[in-house]
Amino acid sequence: MATFELIATAAFGLEAVVAREVKQLGYDDVRVENGRVVFSGDEKAICRANIWLRSADRVLVKMGEFKATTFEQLFEETKALNWHDWLPEDANFPVEGKSINSTLFSVPDCQAIVKKAVVEKMKQKYQRSWFDEQGPRYTIEVGLLKDIATLTIDTSGAGLHKRGYRQLVGQAPLKETLAAALISLSRWREDRALIDPFCGSGTIPIEAALTALNIAPGLKREFTASKWPNIPASLWQEAREEAKSLIRQDFSLKIIGTDIDAEALSLARHHARQAGVEQHIHFQQLPVKEIRSSHKYGWVLCNPPYGERLGEAREVAALYTEMKEAFKRLDTWSFYILTAYPEFEHLFGRRADKRRKLYNGRLECQFYQFFGPKPPRAAKD
């Protein structure tokens, strides 16, 4: 099998997390850039990356990268790429685009130029003047950043956050990929208790269970590239069988999700069933002020309300004060909290040991990390 460049796209601030996941899959030729992780792999790597990556948004095949300040440059450089290595004669190849700080700022024009160039290359290969595009989908993207054009083909289709277990959506859901990244950043260990006191439709507890049990997040879904003739179905089958064989089933977890919304908890239980982790998570209707646990040295990991809507700021401030008082009872625990509320540390009554800028959608947030004491070596929970 040939080796080529792949790109795992990532939300801002999560590039290092995605890079670590790529390396854990055994791909060492890794380069971290803004919003993406570039690595070398073959056709099987496309299958494994889509099935296994927890925090990446998509997996792309990198076709080429070059400077383009004129439409002629964009056309000629695009046409020079080996599109026929990937696109069959009946390929459906729409072109998407984006342009940031570039001379070629008109995205529709760039899309049209790239489409025309690819068609011309296909004409040379297949000796025909027209393509009906009724076959498998190969979404091409032209991305321009500071006059550098990057041409890619999307292998994922729907974003990788769509695991397949969350068909029903609650209010203000946290993306599965971000939830998985928060778990990774918190360094939670599966032998410790974990509580999400604002679990909503269950994303953080479910992603924690999937991680702890080593269940590949993409195991139950399909990808655009699974219909490509140049990636044999046997490779997808091998990758899925590998993932199934690595699922851990030899221990129980102490994961708790609480919320005051009964409807959201009903959704959470449904999603946990769909994900196959229902027996590993305890969901309970409970206000944050009543949070307590007999376990020691656990983790609180949560995404509480931010108070973004008009009139909610006072309620959220009161809620964060309740969190401060409730978490005092968990005196050996560590706390990991994602919020966009600017005065969070003041209301929580502590300066974070560490904080990290992340984005929940387009909203800039801080991931506040408060480290609890280390357990004595002989302590067993």
pLDDT of residue 379: 54
pLDDT of residue 313: 79
pLDDT of residue 182: 98
Dihedral (C-alpha) 357, 358, 363, 369: value to the nearest 10 degrees? -70
Sketch the domain layout of the chain as residue ranges: 4-154, 176-217+248-370
pLDDT of residue 312: 77
Q: Which CATH class is domain 176-217+248-370?
A: alpha beta
CATH of domain 4-154: 3.30.2130.30
pLDDT of residue 205: 98
pLDDT of residue 306: 87
pTM: 0.94
Given its phi and psi angles, is residue 307 left (phi above 0), alpha (psi -120 to 50 degrees) or beta? left
Chunked in runs of 10, what are the mean pLDDT values of the chain (381 residues)?
A: 93 97 96 96 97 98 97 98 95 97 97 97 92 95 97 97 82 87 97 96 97 96 96 97 94 95 95 96 97 96 82 85 95 97 93 97 95 81 55
Can you read off the two tokens belonging to residue 38?
């570039």
Element (H, E) at 65: strand 58-67
pLDDT of residue 330: 97
pLDDT of residue 308: 66
